Amino acid sequence: MTSQARTTLPTHDVLNQPPVRGDIDLWSSDPVLQNVVSATGGRVAELAAYGKTLGTEETRVVGREANRHPPELRLFDQGGRRLDEVRFHPAYHQMMQISQSAGYAALAWDGQPGGHATHAAMVYLAGQVEPGHCCPMTMTYAAIPALAATEHIASLWQQKLEARHYDPSVKPIGQKTSATLGMAMTEKQGGSDIRANTTVATRDGDLWRLRGHKWFCSAPMSDGFLTLAQAPDGLTCFLVPRWLEGKRNAIHLMRLKDKLGNKSNASAEIEYHDALAFRLGDEGAGVRTILEMVHHTRLDTAMAPAGLMRAALSEAHHWVTHRSAFQRRLIDQPLMRAVLADLVLDWEGALTLGMRVAKAFDGHAPEDKAFARVSVALAKFVNNKRCPVVVVEAMEVLGGMGYVEDTPLPLIYREAPLNSIWEGSGNVICLDVLRTLARDPLAAEVLQAELDSATGVDRGYDAALAEHRDRWPSLPPEAEARWYVERMALLLTASQLLRRAPGAVADGFIATRLSAESGRIPGSVAGLDTDALLARLG
């Protein structure tokens, strides 16, 4: 048994400090997650085991260590030979083993029901402990359907990508027990405009050679990368293996990005020096091929902010439950309760919407696929715009301690903006929504049907939906895209809460997010059922 820390010190007694949290079962302590997983067909047993493992004090310490010791670039060995490797702290590898063995990247593709919903819930859980290691696993999960564009590549790689094991060894794919895939699309001159890419692909027999640079390469120690290059017939998608038989592929790591957050994960600038590559999909169809990967990574970027919000609110709730000021517990003070209850609406809305999107990914009907295309963009946009606000308010609840690395709040704060930027920043997402609705009549139809199916229950929701349609009888001009997408995403969130959440949650969300019965700052509310909302925190 661990000895208790001393509370009687030479100059004072330690009083009015919350106890160390110890083990936290992230599944059993989260009734909201349990409810939405049940409603969306997720696999309870696997999530319960994963949530219990992640929440132990031991695992949370490992996650913090992975962030305290960021990866290091090793360009050369002691003799001056090129290595082009990234070395990670053992804590990072331990987090990867925990999550990969749980099926984070693989279980969506094992043919069992509820795979994408279960994966989405794992994204939510992992982000509460150590979000950096999620990047290579998310890329691996998302790359698997893109490989279907070329059968012989899929047959070589898919089994290794779907293995529930973590193998960080430096070996070609045929010698690995498992593998991960990354992505390298962005170049200096183009950014989100990937059609401006200048990396050149030259045929070499049945294979190709790539020459050029990539400004961002996510997870550079992956076993391969999906990348875009200009072939004779246009922009084409390629799979570039990291390791070849008997040698390293000509992928040069130039430097690691010095990022705001996501510290445990490496992101790099790279160059291809006639690197060997396999064409994936048809020549000239690179955007269409790699968008299959982007589509699935967007599911994760829609779910991750819900996990960050949950982690921040959990810390804030623990603090106010055990801390007093002015002779009253903080949790009993009306203004504090109003702030936290308001933040609960953002978190529960994000989780419920994200899991509904994940359920659509599990569907096979054309309507499911159409709904997934448009709803994942809506969820990514609104969930990520609310996440930093929730995290900042949670930090403020802890006062000065919220700004100190002794608590998880600084780590969460640094992570909060990431998923809004990754895989399409806000403007890109809003324009994608408009394009999808303009070009895909089925997507527009199923989205409207989803919104309509929640009518007749709440007058505030019905009025907000009618107002939205009156304001935009057709798609808006580009300059109003953010306003339009925000309202559409909030309406979609409210439609899910009306189906899945208690009245206090749905009513509070509609009143404060759709009916303008609140200010613009969290806690600027009146009339919320704070008892019922705070109970949602478990």
Instruction: Indicate which CATH number applies to the domain containing 105.
Output: 2.40.110.20
How far apart are the C-alpha atoms of 106 and 314, rounded to whole Å?
Answer: 29
Q: What is the pLDDT of residue 1?
A: 42
Instruction: Give the domain CATH number at 381.
Output: 1.20.140.10
Q: Which helix (H) or strand (E) holds 391?
A: helix 366-397
Is 329 contained in some domain? yes
What length is written for the chain? 538
Q: What is the pLDDT of residue 14?
A: 94
Q: Could you tell me the two tokens for 371?
A: 């709904």
Q: What is the pLDDT of residue 196?
A: 87
Q: Is residue 263 predicted with pLDDT exceeding 70?
A: yes
* 379 and 274 share one domain: no
Is 521 contained in some domain? yes
Q: What is the pLDDT of residue 2?
A: 52
Nearest to 533 by CA among 403, 523, 73: 523
Nearest to 267 by CA among 253, 248, 251: 253
Is 360 contained in some domain? yes
Give the mean model confidence (pLDDT) for residues 442-448: 98
Q: How many domains does the chain have?
A: 2
pLDDT tens figures, 106-140: 999 999 999 999 999 999 999 999 999 999 999 99
Is 87 contained in some domain? yes
Is 21 contained in some domain? no
Residues in Cβ contact with 88 at an 8 Å cutoff, skipping those fewer than 6 apart: 66, 71, 168, 221, 264, 266
In three state form, how does the secondary structure of 130-151 look?
CHHHHHHHHHHHHHHHHHCCCH
Q: Is residue 508 predicted with pLDDT exceeding 60?
A: yes
Residues in Cβ contact with 498 at an 8 Å cutoff, skipping those fewer than 6 apart: 454, 457, 458, 461, 506, 510
Q: Is residue 3 predicted with pLDDT exceeding 80?
A: no
How far apart are the C-alpha atoms of 122 and 290, rounded to whole Å?
Answer: 24
Quick check: pTM over 0.95? yes
Q: Could you tell me the two tokens for 28?
A: 């059993």
Q: Rounded to whole angstroms, what are the CA distances from 267 to 104, 141, 156, 218, 495?
A: 20, 18, 26, 5, 38
Tell me if 511 sits within 8 A of 498, measured CB to CB. no
CB atoms within 10 A of CB 303: 32
Is 147 contained in some domain? yes
* 247 and 377 share one domain: no
Structural domain boundaries, residue 193: 33-284
pLDDT band at 149 (very low <50, low <70, confident <90, very high): confident
Helices (H), 148-285: 151-161
pLDDT tens figures, 348-405: 999 999 999 999 999 999 999 999 999 999 999 999 999 999 999 999 999 999 999 9
pLDDT tens figures, 152-204: 999 999 999 999 999 999 999 999 999 999 999 899 987 778 888 999 999 99
